[in-house]
Structure 1
Amino acid sequence: GDGYVIDFGILKKAIRGVCAKLHTRTLLPTRSSVMKVEQSKAVPNHLEITCEGNVKMLIPAEDCVLVPIAHTTAEELGEYIWDEIMRSAAGPALVQRKVEWLEVTVHERVGQAASYRAAVSSFGSSKVLPSSHSAPRPCMQATSSEDEMQLSVTSTQMAVEPPPLPVVARTRSQQAEDMSPSAEAGFKQVLNACLGFEEASRPEMRKTPF
């Protein structure tokens, strides 16, 4: 042989491309059984997210990435990234080099990660998650722990109305101040739905990135 498995530069370029698409954006699972995502009919260039209890919120479409998974967990993100790598120029390169399998590991934090491994030859096979694949935590369900109850939000508390249209007489700072409570509540709701309580309660997740 020629002494190497594959040109790592091709793999690095593919992985960086996937990471760049996901970086600093809100990841919305399109196969979630407790959350529906669609284009807003009322506000242009926004996505409307509907959770259980018919609670709705709006997020600018440019700040989001629609991911074809049920939950934005490290496990399912690993499979998604695996597929994206195989769809890139790295896929044909792996096949040409007769690489048997590819493994992707997603780290949530130091010491906490999940891996997805599959045969390169399996790319293109159907991987649709069954409809019974339930989410770790419905976005409107209260938790049993007293500590979690303080940070969880019931359907009554989480009724987030779309922000009012801007008024000329109001300054930008006043508009931001008026929208802040609803935005924070909606942001926490989406995090709980996508990540589950434990991940959503991490210190860096307690405030919107805006």
Structure 2
Amino acid sequence: MTSEKYRVRVTKDHLVFSAAHFITFNGTICERLHGHNWRAAVEVAGPLDENSYVFDFIALRDATQRLVNELDHHVLLPTQHPAIHVTSDDREVTATFESRRWVFPREDCVLLPVANTTAELIARWMAFQLKQTLATHAGAANLETLTIEIEENFGQWAICQIPMHA
């Protein structure tokens, strides 16, 4: 048995999305709506396959790019927050927090099944989305972990690592 570990990591200048959000913290504080140029990086770990690689760089890059494109130039809103209430129809999305209210065109929003649109929970959401996508790829059977890194601001990363088979 070998003690060697292998990982493949992808981050590119185009794995960036511009998106607006606001978060709550300390129970009653809600930030103002603001935006970031978020950067994504992805890493998978596992043994080498018969071709001597962990996973196809291009497939990993392309799957990550599709997720980044879904979020780019949108307002990110949490649908599972206990105090931010989000409702939508085919035209508008309304978000409320206490006495504050925001209304956005439906096509400008991504409703995320998260409790708060923190970089950590965005990384988690992306990790589980990517896990589903990669699972259909022939090279995914031996992957052990998937790690997503989201940079919210220069030098400020949130990282989520999940098992590929659990």
Is TM-score (shorter-chain normalized) higher than 0.5? yes
Deviations 1:182-203 (A, max 9, x none): xxxxxxxxxxxxxxxxxxxxxx
TM score, norm. by length of structure 1: 0.52
User: How many positions carry a matched residue from both structures?
Assistant: 117
Give distance in 1, aligned partners of 2:98 and 2:140: 47
- Alignment match, 1:62: 107
Which residue of 67, 85, 94 corresponds with 1:36?
A: 85
Q: Is the 8 A contact 2:135 2:141 kept in 1?
A: no
Alpha-carbon offset, residue 92 of structure 1: 2.8
- Alignment match, 2:10: none
TM-aligned CA distance change 1:95 to 1:30, over 3 Å? farther
Q: Among the aligned pairs, what percent are the same residue? A: 27
Give distance in 2, aligned partners of 1:115 and 1:27: 18
Which residue of 112, 131, 134 corresponds with 1:86?
A: 131
In structure 2, stretches of 5+ residues that fail to align are: 1-49
Q: Is the 8 A contact 1:86 1:92 kept in 2?
A: no
- Alignment match, 1:13: 62
Q: Is the 8 A contact 1:37 1:48 kept in 2?
A: yes
Amino acid in the other structure paired with 1:64? C
Higher helix share: 1
TM score, norm. by length of structure 2: 0.65
Which residue of 68, 93, 106 corresponds with 1:47?
A: 93
In structure 1, stretches of 5+ residues that fail to align are: 123-210
Give runs of aligned pairs for residues 104-143 of structure 1, distance below 5 A.
Answer: 104-122=148-166
